[in-house]
Amino acid sequence: MTTALDRAKQKAAEAVGGEMTLLEHLLELRTRVMWSAITVVIAMVVFFVPPVGFGVIGWMLAPARETIPDFRPQYIEPMENIAVYFRVALLGGVTVAMPMLVFQMLGFVAPALTKSEKRWLFPIVFLATVAFIGGLAFGYWIVLPVTLGFLLSFGNDVAQADWRIGNYIGFVTRILLVMGFVFETPLLVMGLAKAGVVTARKLLKWWRLAVVAAFLVAAVVTPTIDPITQSLVGGPIVILYFVGIGLAWLVRRE
């Protein structure tokens, strides 16, 4: 019985005229990781420019100011503002560099693909970028306003919200990045199905475990315990899981 690994090796042999050695694979991986890192660093430089960086910080403060208009976090440690600036630049750099990151990842597995499969590389890069940005948008305009509204209003008649900017930006960054990568779930599932690792039928059998896992992720990402916030994070994960099952069935019907 031919395994997924055997099929991958056969495709690689057809594509490059022979199998790559382990050393060649490692060198190829190192090169692609290096180019990915360089792209992220170059993109980060743009966000280190004060008007851009502080503009992004203001953009990240906006959801909290919907609840408390004069919300102004404080910094306590001497280097805290600089650390926040770096974190914001990293978020911006990863977002801008996402097409290159996906391209390098797909380029690494390209030798194992047939010519017809390679035609899908650029559409997948585009779809992965759109999905990541879509996740950021969902996190910013849906998840953050509800979550921050709850956190800032809960108990505000007893104590005043006086958050550290490092904690706030870290929380917002985590929400945005997690939602961005969560929206990549359908493409990841489709890729695993195409490689023969999973099938749509198996994924459908695991739907109960997927629902539990989705809400566990939601519990880790969001510190609130109210069902609305949990559903705003866990619900899309479940929906995207079923979208992935549909894509898995399209690329590998069994």
Give per-residue pLDDT as tens, 200-249: 999 999 999 999 999 998 888 776 677 777 888 899 999 999 999 999 99
Q: Are residues 168 and 208 in the same domain?
A: no
What gap in Å lies between CA 31 and CA 44, rounded to an integer? 20
Q: Which two tokens stand for residue 208?
A: 């109960």
pLDDT of residue 112: 74
Q: Are residues 71 and 160 in the same domain?
A: yes
pLDDT of residue 197: 84
Given a cut of 80, whether residue 253 has pLDDT beyond it is no
Residue 29's domain comprises 4-183
- Mean pLDDT, rounded, of the chain: 86
| pTM of structure | 0.81
Give the total number of structural domains in the chain: 2
- Of 183, 217, 239, which closes a domain? 183
pLDDT of residue 224: 67
What gap in Å lies between CA 196 and CA 7, rounded to an integer? 9
**CA distance between the termini of the chain:** 16
For 32-84, how does the pLDDT look when each residue is reduced to its tens digit (9 = 90+)? Answer: 999 999 999 999 999 999 899 999 999 999 999 998 899 999 999 989 989 99
Residues comprising the chain, all counted: 254
Q: Which two tokens stand for residue 249?
A: 């069935």
What gap in Å lies between CA 195 and CA 3, rounded to an integer? 10
Q: Are residues 169 and 236 in the same domain?
A: no
What gap in Å lies between CA 8 and CA 132, rounded to an integer? 27
**DSSP string across 23-79:** HHHHHHHHHHHHHHHHHHHHHHHHHHSHHHHHHHHHHHHHHHHTTSTT---B--STT
Q: Which two tokens stand for residue 95?
A: 């977002």
Q: Are residues 43 and 133 in the same domain?
A: yes
Q: Do 230 and 222 contact (CB within 8 A), yes or no?
A: yes
Q: Are residues 171 and 196 in the same domain?
A: no
pLDDT of residue 248: 92
Q: Are residues 71 and 110 in the same domain?
A: yes
Q: Are residues 145 and 213 in the same domain?
A: no
State the DSSP code for 171: H
What gap in Å lies between CA 17 and CA 5, rounded to an integer? 17
Q: Are residues 79 and 27 in the same domain?
A: yes
Q: Are residues 78 and 156 in the same domain?
A: yes
Using DSSP, state whether 143 is helix, strand or coil: helix
What gap in Å lies between CA 131 and CA 231, rounded to an integer? 20
pLDDT of residue 108: 85
pLDDT of residue 12: 47
